[in-house]
């Protein structure tokens, strides 16, 4: 059991590691696309990033941003 604090991203609904993100309520991925913060260099293992715990979820809005 690790004691690292986790939170749920308001935008994509994925769990993420609080200390990995600049925003308290957004995962590094969403904080990057919504606010321009540095993104995590995600490395996926067992369905989530080993650094930030993001599970690859994307809201429709984030998908739209990435395609524009």
3-class state of residue 6 by DSSP: strand
DSSP 52: T
Least distance CB 52 / Zn ion (angstroms): 3
Provide the binding-site residues for Zn ion, judged by CB under 5 A.
9, 11-12, 27, 30, 40, 42, 49, 51-52, 54
User: 3 or 32, CB closer to Zn ion?
Assistant: 32
Least distance CB 3 / Zn ion (angstroms): 19
Yes or no: say if 11 and 28 are a contact pair by the CB < 8 Å rule.
no
User: 3 or 19, CB closer to Zn ion?
Assistant: 19
Element (H, E) at 45: strand 44-45
């Amino acid at each position: 059991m690790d004691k690292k604090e986790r939170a749920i991203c308001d935008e994509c609904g994925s769990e993420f590691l609080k200390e990995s993100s600049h925003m308290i309520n957004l995962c590094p991925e969403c904080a990057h696309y919504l606010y321009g913060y540095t993104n995590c260099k995600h490395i996926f293992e067992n369905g989530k990033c080993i650094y930030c715990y993001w599970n690859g979820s994307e809201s429709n809005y984030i998908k739209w941003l990435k395609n524009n």
